């Protein structure tokens, strides 16, 4: 076991060093901002630049270093799509195969000791192993190294890994490389990680399994509603402004601008809200709140409350007056424009706090005196950082409960909080505790990542709505990861996997959220175990939930 320990230490060190040292360099804004200088170097030293790119790609395929997909975008940006595809596919084969062999060698004893029963029960079928590998490679959210580790855990043969691994990876490489080439032309990150691209990748990832189960009626019940749902979600709204009644005449400071009322309406009041548009791209750059009105003039000052990170506010930008307490504003949605304001703002323009019974909560708490009321969940914002809540469904099934969530910190890049729930089972005279760490990270204008690490104590098997098996350990662990997309009409899509470490099961959820002024509705599906192709708590569950936030 000594070699296993050394190998795991090397992997952990590589992951931590990459997160500490490379994070800023794999932000696409960095490459766009420095595009001209870097492109000159690539053009003048193409061979050397190609070797550097290939070597970095090899290391990222070999070691647990994230951002491998981002590297394909960078390759398309500087080398063009065709060269990026060639380099990426070759290093996927070389680096991925070497990583697979290393894990088989260093972790063989550990796998036999810990996972031999799982191997014999779930991973002995070679065709299923191949199908799983291709599906996981296509799925855009699972890290490359994690999929390689899952494959090494299975009994898939090396010869099958050699062709199945790159075959599943090619769709992502092709799409991201061509996206990078397009980025070379437009030199803007707006629209990056296009939702339509992710829909295609998600549909591709289920094809190997859909072909196997399509003939079964119960799978038709799941596939077709999801397919229809994803097709419906591609609808987007675009906002255009044709009359520039308000224009920025001067930038007073980093967060204060002077605005001229071109219409001379002179009905501007303190605390009025405006959306700032670029006069060149006609995209929303941020919100501004009126802080000073000069009587007898056409000028007033406003404080910039939220700001699109990749845009610059400057004289000539025009503004459109908003009423954020209503939902009639035709503003394309952006993560940076979601509001933390204490003023009366429709929940359509706020970060999600609750995402339904099966997905749970995010890191964001309710603001002071805010409420969520629904058939599955009720919450109250006691302070801006502290909320109290209860799970109504559990209470209905004779398990009274109460919980709280505390926000440790948040900024434009992340939010981090802790929540705790207390449940009591009167029949069993047993208390159940749940502790969760929540981390929301905002990667670009459209996407937010939701992470939740949940620790929970033992509970009776008949007292859970989401899983039928009893937990044996005194303290069990579950990891849930999800990706959220903000559509231009401010509705949301959230999808992602969850891992139950106690039962060694992998499940997940997908949901579409219709959000109005106060009303939220979720339509989606979830699974506690992807390998169980059945309906019910053992396998797949169709989700419908709704609540009001005010």
288 and 408 assigned to the same domain? no
Q: Are 291 and 303 in contact (CB under 8 A)?
A: yes
The CATH number of whichever domain residue 260 belongs to comes to: 2.40.10.170
Q: Are 69 and 172 in contact (CB under 8 A)?
A: yes
Q: Are 459 and 453 in contact (CB under 8 A)?
A: no
Q: Are 60 and 142 in contact (CB under 8 A)?
A: no
Q: pLDDT by residue (tens digit) across 483-496?
A: 888 887 888 999 88
Is 466 a residue whose pLDDT tops 60?
no
Q: What would the two tokens of residue 189 be?
A: 């990150």
Query: Is 336 within a domain?
Result: no
* Position with higher pLDDT, 237 vs 378: 378
For residue 320, what are the domain limits? 246-331
The two beta strands, 299-307 and 377-381, are unpaired
93 and 38 assigned to the same domain? yes
Query: Is 54 within a domain?
Result: yes
CA pair distance 436, 41, nearest whole angstrom: 47
Looking at 229-233, 284-288, 545-549, which range is the least confident one? 229-233
Query: Is 159 within a domain?
Result: yes
Is 440 a residue whose pLDDT tops 90?
yes
Is 518 a residue whose pLDDT tops 80?
yes
**Percentage of the chain lying above the pLDDT 90 cut:** 12
Query: Is 199 within a domain?
Result: no
Is 210 a residue whose pLDDT tops 60?
no
Query: Is 202 within a domain?
Result: no
Residue 43 has, within 13 A of its CA and on its CB side, a CA count of 7
CA pair distance 525, 191, nearest whole angstrom: 27
What's the confidence (pLDDT) of residue 184?
Answer: 63
What's the confidence (pLDDT) of residue 34?
Answer: 74
Query: Is 273 within a domain?
Result: yes
Q: What does 464-495 look like in DSSP terms, one character per residue?
A: -SS--SPP-SSEEEEEEEEEEEE-TTS-EEEE
User: Which has the closest alpha carbon to 107: 125, 95, 119?
Assistant: 119
What's the confidence (pLDDT) of residue 111?
Answer: 60
Classify the C-alpha dihedral 485-318-27-42 as positive or negative. positive
What's the confidence (pLDDT) of residue 408?
Answer: 94
318 and 433 assigned to the same domain? no
509 and 412 assigned to the same domain? yes
What's the confidence (pLDDT) of residue 26?
Answer: 66
Per-residue pLDDT band at 190 (split at 50, 70, 90):
very low
413 and 503 assigned to the same domain? yes
Is 255 a residue whose pLDDT tops 60?
yes
Query: Is 193 within a domain?
Result: no
325 and 370 assigned to the same domain? no
Contacts of 425 (CB under 8 A, 6+ apart): 398, 399, 431, 432, 459, 460, 463
Query: Is 200 within a domain?
Result: no
- pTM for the structure as a whole: 0.54
What's the confidence (pLDDT) of residue 216?
Answer: 45
Q: What is the mean pLDDT of the chain?
A: 76
- Domain boundary residue among 145, 170, 187? 187
Q: pLDDT by residue (tens digit) across 132-189?
A: 777 777 765 677 877 887 777 777 888 888 888 888 888 778 877 877 777 665 544 4
154 and 259 assigned to the same domain? no
What's the confidence (pLDDT) of residue 438?
Answer: 95
Q: pLDDT by residue (tens digit) across 283-328?
A: 777 778 888 887 778 888 888 876 665 567 888 888 888 777 777 6
What's the confidence (pLDDT) of residue 222?
Answer: 46
What's the confidence (pLDDT) of residue 403?
Answer: 93
Split into its structural domains, the chain has a count of 3
Contacts of 380 (CB under 8 A, 6+ apart): 366, 369, 370, 371, 387, 388, 389
**Percentage of the chain lying above the pLDDT 70 cut:** 72
User: Which has the closest alpha carbon to 61: 31, 20, 89, 21?
Assistant: 89
Average pLDDT over residues 362-373: 93
What's the confidence (pLDDT) of residue 520?
Answer: 93
Q: pLDDT by residue (tens digit) across 519-535?
A: 999 998 888 777 776 77
173 and 259 assigned to the same domain? no
Average pLDDT over residues 87-113: 80
Q: pLDDT by residue (tens digit) across 370-409?
A: 999 998 899 999 999 999 999 887 777 777 889 999 999 9
Q: Please tell me the chain's helix, strand, coil percentages from 3-state DSSP, rounded to the nearest 5.
A: 40, 30, 35
Helix axes 144-153, 108-122, angle to 10 degrees: 80
């Amino acid at each position: 076991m000594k070699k296993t320990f050394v190998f795991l230490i090397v992997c952990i060190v590589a992951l931590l060093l990459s997160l500490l040292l490379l994070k800023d360099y794999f932000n696409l804004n960095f490459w766009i901002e420095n595009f001209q200088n870097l492109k000159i170097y690539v053009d003048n030293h193409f061979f050397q630049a190609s070797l550097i790119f290939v070597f970095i790609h090899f290391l990222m395929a070999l070691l647990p270093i994230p951002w491998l997909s981002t590297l394909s975008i960078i390759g398309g940006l500087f080398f063009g799509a065709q060269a990026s595809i060639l380099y990426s596919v070759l290093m996927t084969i070389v680096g991925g195969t070497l990583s697979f062999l290393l894990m088989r060698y260093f972790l063989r004893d550990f796998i036999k000791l810990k996972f031999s029963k799982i191997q014999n029960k779930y991973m002995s079928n070679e065709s299923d192993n191949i199908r799983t590998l291709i599906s996981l490679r296509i799925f855009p959210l699972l890290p490359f190294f994690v999929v390689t580790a899952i494959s090494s855990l299975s009994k898939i043969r090396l010869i099958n890994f050699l062709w199945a691994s790159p075959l599943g990876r090619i769709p992502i490489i092709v799409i991201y490389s061509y996206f990078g080439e397009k980025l070379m032309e437009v030199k803007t990150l707006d629209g990056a990680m296009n939702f339509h691209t992710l829909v295609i990748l998600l549909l591709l990832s289920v094809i190997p399994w859909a072909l196997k189960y399509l003939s079964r009626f119960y799978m038709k019940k799941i596939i077709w509603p999801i397919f229809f749902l994803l097709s419906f979600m591609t609808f987007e709204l675009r906002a255009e402004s044709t009359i520039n009644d308000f224009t920025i005449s001067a930038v007073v400071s980093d967060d204060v601008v002077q605005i001229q009322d071109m219409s001379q309406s002179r009905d501007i009041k303190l605390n009025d809200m405006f959306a700032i548009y670029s006069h060149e791209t006609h995209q929303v750059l941020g919100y501004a709140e009126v802080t000073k009105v000069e009587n007898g003039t056409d000028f007033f000052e406003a404080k910039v409350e939220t700001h699109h990170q990749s845009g610059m506010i400057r004289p000539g930008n025009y503004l459109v007056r908003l009423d954020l307490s209503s939902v009639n504003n035709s503003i394309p949605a952006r993560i940076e424009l979601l509001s933390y304001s204490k003023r009366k703002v429709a929940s359509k323009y706020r970060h999600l706090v609750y995402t339904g019974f099966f997905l749970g909560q995010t890191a964001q708490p309710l603001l002071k005196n805010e409420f969520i009321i629904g058939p599955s969940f009720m919450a109250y914002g006691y302070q801006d950082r502290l909320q109290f809540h209860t799970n109504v469904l559990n209470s209905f099934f004779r398990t009274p409960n109460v919980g709280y969530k505390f926000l440790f910190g948040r900024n434009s890049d992340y939010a981090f909080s802790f929540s705790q729930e207390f449940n009591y089972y009167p029949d069993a005279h047993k208390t159940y505790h749940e502790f969760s760490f929540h981390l929301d990270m905002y990667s670009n204008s459209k996407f937010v990542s939701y992470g939740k690490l949940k620790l929970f104590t033992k509970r009776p098997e008949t007292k859970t709505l989401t899983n039928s098996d009893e937990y044996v350990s005194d303290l069990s662990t579950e990891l849930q990861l999800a990706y959220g997309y903000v559509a231009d009409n401010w509705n949301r899509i959230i999808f992602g996997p969850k891992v139950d470490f106690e039962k060694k099961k992998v499940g997940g959820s997908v949901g579409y959220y219709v959000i109005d002024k106060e009303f939220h509705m979720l339509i989606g599906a979830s699974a506690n175990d992807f390998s169980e192709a059945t309906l019910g708590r053992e396998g797949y569950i169709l989700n419908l939930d709704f609540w009001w936030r005010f």
